[in-house]
């Protein structure tokens, strides 16, 4: 099977390899070559994760051979207002179909369960501890995940309230924003929506790509912090 990937760089000093047809599948490298070389292992890890979560219903359980094809690259840049513009790929402009929305919803539900399971494992003293080299406490990282997801939705005017109206508690904020995302996704089926805001282009497909990535990325981030 052919796996199309696209490269984004740099993002926080790294390059990201995105599997464009597989939400939540991505990998990193310090340069473009490393991101591409690492990606087969990243995809295998993603396949194992999907197989574990979906069980007999996994849409990747029969995939044995695949070829990686780099089809696009995007260089992140800053606008005159010092805002970082992140990747837009041609595939991001394609409307979502029913199957893609269904699978993305499953992935979002699985990553959210993993995030909440992780929350329950962390003692309060660790949750609010400041760690050297980190911008936020773990509690603040949970809030950041919610804020970012709200921001993605806001790019297409899909939020149900202003950011200042979101719950203060991180868990309640996470739940509120995710419920809104899951609620609006079915209405985006087959809709060709592309919008530019503050120099960056957005679409429903890009929102899914970024939301699935961001939660999984911070899951790993938090695990690394507590395992120090």
Q: How far apart are alpha carbons 224 and 219 in whole angstroms?
A: 9
Q: With beta carbons less than 8 A apart as the criterion, state whether 60 and 1 touch.
A: no
| pLDDT tens-digit map of 3-62 | 999 999 999 999 999 999 999 999 999 999 999 999 999 999 999 999 999 999 999 999
In this prediction, residue 228 carries a pLDDT of 86
Rg (CA), the chain: 17
Neighbours of 12 (CB within 10 A): 9
Task: Tell me the average pLDDT across 169-198.
Answer: 97
In this prediction, residue 89 carries a pLDDT of 98
Task: Tell me the average pLDDT across 163-189.
Answer: 98
Predicted structure pTM score: 0.96
Q: How far apart are alpha carbons 40 and 146 in whole angstroms?
A: 30
| pLDDT tens-digit map of 199-217 | 999 999 999 999 999 999 9
| pLDDT tens-digit map of 85-113 | 999 999 999 999 999 999 999 999 999 99
Q: What percent of the chain has pLDDT over 70?
A: 100
- Side-chain-side CA neighbours of 8 within 13 Å: the count stands at 21
Do 1-87 and 89-228 come out as alike in CATH topology? no
In this prediction, residue 108 carries a pLDDT of 98
Q: How far apart are alpha carbons 173 and 142 in whole angstroms?
A: 9
Tokens 């429903």 found at:
204
Give the CATH class of 1-87: alpha beta
In order of 31, 154, 202, the CA distances from 162 in angstroms are 38, 9, 19
Task: Tell me the average pLDDT across 149-165.
Answer: 98
Q: How far apart are alpha carbons 64 and 72 in whole angstroms?
A: 25
Task: Tell me the average pLDDT across 74-82.
Answer: 93
| pLDDT tens-digit map of 113-137 | 999 999 999 999 999 999 999 999 9
In this prediction, residue 80 carries a pLDDT of 87
Q: Which fold would CATH assign to domain 89-228?
A: 1.20.120
Q: Domain limits of the chain?
A: 1-87, 89-228
């Amino acid at each position: 099977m052919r796996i199309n990937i696209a490269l984004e760089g740099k993002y926080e000093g790294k390059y990201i390899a995105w599997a464009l047809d597989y939400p939540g599948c991505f990998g990193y490298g310090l340069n473009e070559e490393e991101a591409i070389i690492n990606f087969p292992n990243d995809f295998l890890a993603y396949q194992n994760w999907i197989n574990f979560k979906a069980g007999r219903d996994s849409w990747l359980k029969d995939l044995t051979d695949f070829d990686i094809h780099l089809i696009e690259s995007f260089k992140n840049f800053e606008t005159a207002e010092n805002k970082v513009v992140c990747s837009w790929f041609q595939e991001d402009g394609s409307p979502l179909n029913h199957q893609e929305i269904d699978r993305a919803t499953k992935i979002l539900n699985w990553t959210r369960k993993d995030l909440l399971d992780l929350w329950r494992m962390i003692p309060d003293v660790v949750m609010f501890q400041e760690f050297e080299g980190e911008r936020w406490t773990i509690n603040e990282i949970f809030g950041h995940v919610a804020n970012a997801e709200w921001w993605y939705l806001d790019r297409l005017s899909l939020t149900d309230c202003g950011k200042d109206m979101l719950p203060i508690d991180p868990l309640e904020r996470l739940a509120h924003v995710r419920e809104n995302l899951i609620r609006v996704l079915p209405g985006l089926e087959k809709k060709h929506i592309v919008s530019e805001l503050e120099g960056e282009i957005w679409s429903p497909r890009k929102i899914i790509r970024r939301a699935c990535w961001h939660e999984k990325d911070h899951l790993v981030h938090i695990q690394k912090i507590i395992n120090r």
